[in-house]
């Protein structure tokens, strides 16, 4: 059965109840001014009505700038029960009051935090939904094993400094989550899980198409693709690069992503870490 699902119309009442929780994973795909995909980890991402999603801002980052310039977004929400909701939405407005604002700031994560709370709530109108599907763990595990073999046997490129040792270790841990996003033909980011992804070397990410294979095969060769990798210790890294298509790596068929850009989304100071930015003298 194809994993490319028929689009549901809206979130159900059960979805609203099940996703109004602190402990879940939300990933928002946005589009940069250059037309490139960008992915952001947002644990606050959730529906508040059948065709409305919200998320709360408590730190700064590039996605907050991008969504104001281009309102088209894609999203993935993964529950602790390994259920997945995916879709597309368009940014509508932001507010600093209202029931969603109060709901966020009464959650334990923000209510008892002495340093920050949610100061702005972003509202998005649902355009497309593929709702409540179990993460295909059998396919994910098989794909992860294939990817591990390809990484072990594949030819490594030396000399690149795109991903440091910490970033490669984060992506190569098999129980960490990873997601891919690219700008679809309709201008919206398409976002989906790719847990099997690993770093072949500092410049290339590889992933067997055994899980979410239809989505992987739909990415045009040469497209710009973003990747977000995260641990459950809330460590994460974002990359963007060129999709080289499905190739033989160590004798295995794998999607290959060449890493051109690396971003640290973690507080206190999110920012680009590759290519390296030159330090500039500041006059006060």
Task: Indicate if 164 and 66 belong to the same structural domain.
Answer: no
The closest alpha carbon to 39, from 242, 158, 182, belongs to: 182
| Rounded-to-integer distance, Cα 31 and Cα 215, Å | 19
| Rounded-to-integer distance, Cα 122 and Cα 87, Å | 17
Task: Indicate if 128 and 151 belong to the same structural domain.
Answer: no
The DSSP call for residue 276 is: P
Task: Identify the three-state secondary structure at position 202.
Answer: coil
In a domain, 141, yes or no: yes
| Rounded-to-integer distance, Cα 250 and Cα 239, Å | 23
Enclosing domain of residue 89: 13-134
In a domain, 228, yes or no: yes
How far CA 174 is from CA of 27, 141, 201, 207, in Å, comes to 19, 9, 16, 12
The closest alpha carbon to 86, from 74, 99, 70, belongs to: 74
Number of domains within the chain: 2
CB 30 within 8 A of CB 70: yes
Per-residue tens of pLDDT for the chain, all 284 residues: 334 444 678 999 999 999 999 889 999 999 999 999 999 999 889 999 999 999 988 766 677 889 999 999 999 999 999 999 999 999 999 999 999 888 888 877 655 554 467 889 899 999 999 999 999 999 999 999 999 999 999 999 988 889 999 999 999 999 999 999 999 999 999 999 999 999 999 999 999 999 999 999 999 999 999 999 999 888 999 999 999 999 999 999 999 999 999 998 887 677 888 998 765 665 55
- Is the model's pTM score more than 0.75? yes
């Amino acid at each position: 059965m194809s994993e490319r699902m028929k689009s549901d119309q809206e979130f159900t009442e059960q979805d609203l109840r099940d996703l109004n929780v602190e402990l879940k994973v939300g990933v928002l795909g946005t589009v940069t001014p250059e037309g490139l995909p960008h992915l952001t980890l947002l644990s606050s991402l959730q529906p508040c009505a059948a065709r409305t999603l919200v998320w709360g801002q408590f730190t700064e980052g590039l996605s907050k700038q991008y969504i104001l310039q281009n309102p088209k977004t894609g999203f993935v929400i993964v529950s602790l029960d390994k259920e997945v909701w995916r879709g597309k939405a368009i940014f509508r407005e932001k507010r600093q009051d209202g029931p969603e604002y109060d709901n966020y700031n009464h959650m334990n994560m923000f209510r008892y935090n002495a340093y920050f709370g949610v100061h702005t709530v972003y509202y998005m109108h649902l355009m497309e939904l593929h709702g409540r599907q179990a993460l295909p763990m059998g396919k994910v595990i098989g794909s992860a094993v294939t990817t591990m073999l390809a990484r072990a046997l594949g030819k490594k490129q030396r000399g690149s400094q795109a991903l440091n040792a910490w970033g490669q270790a984060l992506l190569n841990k098999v129980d960490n989550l990873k997601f891919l996003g690219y700008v679809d033909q309709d201008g919206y980011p398409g976002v989906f899980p790719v847990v099997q992804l690993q770093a072949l070397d500092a410049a290339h990410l590889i992933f067997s198409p055994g899980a979410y294979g239809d989505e992987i095969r739909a990415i045009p060769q040469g497209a710009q693709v973003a990747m977000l990798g995260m641990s459950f210790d809330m460590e994460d890294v974002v990359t963007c690069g060129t999709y080289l298509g499905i190739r033989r790596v160590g004798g295995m068929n794998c999607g290959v992503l060449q890493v051109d850009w690396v971003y640290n989304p973690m507080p206190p100071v999110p920012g680009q870490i590759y290519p390296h930015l030159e330090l500039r003298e500041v006059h006060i």
